Amino acid sequence: MIPFHVNSNHESFRRRFYCFPSCCHDAHYILSSRCPLFFNDSAVWVLELTTYLFAWLVLFGMSYGVRVGAHIGVDAVTRLLPSKGQRILAIVTALLCMTYCVLLFIGGINYVGIMYDLGIESEDLPIKQWMPYSILPIGLALLLFRFAQVIFNLFKGAEVQMLADEAQNAIKEHKKYVN
């Protein structure tokens, strides 16, 4: 069982990453339109900030999608297999996903290291370029952790497949609101 604080921290960061980019952009818009004397600067730095924040949202959100089984998947062939075959195919799929994560993680570490060594500053923000790009290894490490969690649950027998059943989830949601 994963400690509660890991999942709750993941939820907390996810909520912040949803909210913060929009709030930054909206605040700049309101201040520049209502107080043009003080905030009549270019909005380029806000665009760069929101771009970085949305990149963090996407790369951080990938692991959340794996945790809740929200990723889109084609399971027409998988459903034809017996339960044991579904589990084996899901384990092989998760291992392939983990291999891909490891490759991207190594590439992300190398890229952030190069950016750190070069010391390039961001174009419009007063930060080094390696700082916003550090989400590459962080997000991929989280994704790797979530795929390991899925494989553990598959071996344990808690899950039969990697993806959630979207039709069953829709029916459950509908019944929840109807009743």
Domain boundaries defined on the chain: 4-178
Helix (H, G, I), strand (E, B) or coil at 121: strand
Q: pTM of the full predicted structure?
A: 0.77
Q: Give me the amino acid identity at 151.
A: I
Structure-block tokens of residue 124: 């419009």
Q: Assess contact for 79 and 122: CB atoms under 8 A.
A: no
- Helix, strand, coil tally for the chain in percent (to 5): 75, 0, 25
| Tens-digit pLDDT profile for residues 95-146 | 999 999 999 999 999 999 999 999 999 998 899 999 999 999 999 999 999 9
Return the bridge partners of 128, or none: 121
| Tens-digit pLDDT profile for residues 5-46 | 556 666 776 677 677 777 777 777 777 776 665 556 666 788
Lowest mean pLDDT among 81-95, 141-155, 162-176: 162-176
Burial call 100-129: b when 16+ CB within 10 Å, e when fewer: ebeebbeebeebbeebeeeeeebeebeebb
Alpha-carbon gap, residue 156 to 5, rounded angstroms: 22
3-state SS string for 124-139: CCCCECHHHHCHHHHH
54-to-61, 66, 140 alpha-carbon distances in Å:
10, 18, 16
Angle between helices 44-68 and 4-34 (to 10 degrees): 150
Q: Assess contact for 150 and 92: CB atoms under 8 A.
A: no
